[in-house]
Amino acid sequence: MLFGISVYCFHDDDSQTEPVSAMVEKVAAAGLPYETHAMQTVVEGNWDRVMPVLKEAYEDLRQRHDRVYLSLTLDDHGGREDRLQGSVESVEEELDHPVGR
């Protein structure tokens, strides 16, 4: 499964660096494969492994920010693994060249 996570927190400062970094640190500490991009972080893992990490990250952010907006999308490939890279490789194969990174 791939989980796309975007988090936005509102407080005194509208910079999203701290909340995104805090969420990414929780994911990394859990040992989950992930990639962070300009607008979202994509995490790979099964539901039971990923959701407790996201819940903990959300709860930590909620204690420090007046408002937390978290958007979550799920792409379930029926148990297939290595989709974090495999999805990109499929597009590169279709295009017959690497995509920008």
pLDDT tens-digit map of 76-95: 988 788 888 888 898 999 99
Query: What is the tens place of the pLDDT at every residue in 7-55?
Result: 998 876 667 888 899 999 999 999 999 999 989 999 999 999 999 999 9
- At residue 101 the predicted structure's pLDDT band, cuts being 50, 70 and 90, is low
CA distances from 85 to 9, 11, 36, 41, 89 (A): 29, 35, 13, 14, 6
Residue with tokens 């420090």: 64
* Residue 33, burial from CB neighbour count under 10 angstroms (0-12, 13-18, 19+): middle
**All domains in the chain, ordered by first residue:** 2-95 (3.30.70.930)
Conformational region of residue 78, where left means phi above 0, alpha means psi within -120 to 50, and beta covers everything else: left
SS3 12: coil
